[in-house]
Amino acid sequence: MKRISFFLAVTLLAAPELLRAQDAAVEEHLNKLTAQIQDLVDAKDAQNKRIEELAKELRALQDQQGKPNTSYASQEDLKQLADKLQEIDRKRQEDNDLILKRIEGLGKALGSSARPAVAPRPATPPADAATSTPSDKGYEYVIQSGDTLSVVVKAYAEKNIKVTVDQIVAANPGLNPKRLRVGQKVFIPAPQQ
């Protein structure tokens, strides 16, 4: 019995040490579990925030998709464009007919002229000539083979348009009367009245 008592006494003395060791292991295990639970809670919060952001983006995309896109033309826009194109085409055809009538008239006038290549053609002056003459009225002449400014002045005089070589040179800055080129356009100022 002494042995049993001794064993019981040792066990009772050792039990608190064993319980403390077990408590420390349990406490450590509980701390690990608490840390893991906290990590899971943090991950869940982060995931919830991301889900909220994605939901907001999805709503924004749905709102944007519901709005009409201004880069596309409506049927009404296309119809208006077609009408305007038809109007432009009609005006172009009218201009073409007018030009053809004027060319026919010039052809008839040139046919009766002694020097048909020099018949004056009404036109607006070139940009540089507009600054040299007080009025924008005059004629545009295209230099032909063998033309000189004297020949051009004489041809215009036959059409009762009195202009001098000096007036032509003054109306065309940079024009060299000695170096006229075939096809070169020269502005002939209208006579001053």
Q: Is the pLDDT assigned to residue 133 strictly greater than 90?
A: no
Residues 127 and 162 occupy one common structural domain: yes
pLDDT digits (tens, 9 = 90+) for 41-96: 999 999 999 999 999 999 998 888 877 666 677 788 888 999 999 999 888 888 88
Residue 159 has a CB neighbour count (10 Å cut-off) of 14
The domain total for the chain is 3
DSSP secondary structure letters along the chain: -HHHHHHHHHHHHHHHHHHHHHHHHHHHHHHHHHHHHHHHHHHHHHHHHHHHHHHHHHHHHHHHHHSPPTTS--HHHHHHHHHHHHHHHHHHHHHHHHHHHHHHHHHHHHHHSSSGGG--EE-PPPHHHHTTSSSS-EEEEE--TT--HHHHHHHHHHTT----HHHHHHHSTT--TTS--TT-EEEEEPPP-
- CA pair distance 20, 22, nearest whole angstrom: 5
Across residues 115-131, what is the average pLDDT?
39
In a domain, 68, yes or no: no
Lowest average pLDDT, out of 30-34, 40-44, 54-58, 136-140, goes to 136-140
Q: Does residue 123 carry a pLDDT above 50?
A: no
Residue 147's domain comprises 117-189
In a domain, 166, yes or no: yes
| Distance in angstroms (rounded) separating the CA atoms of residues 95 and 89 | 10
Q: How far is Cα 117 from Cα 119, in angstroms, rounded to an integer? A: 6
My answer on whether 124 and 170 are in the same domain is yes
Which residues are paired to 139 by β-bridges?
Answer: 122, 188
The domain that contains 149 carries what CATH number?
A: 3.10.350.10
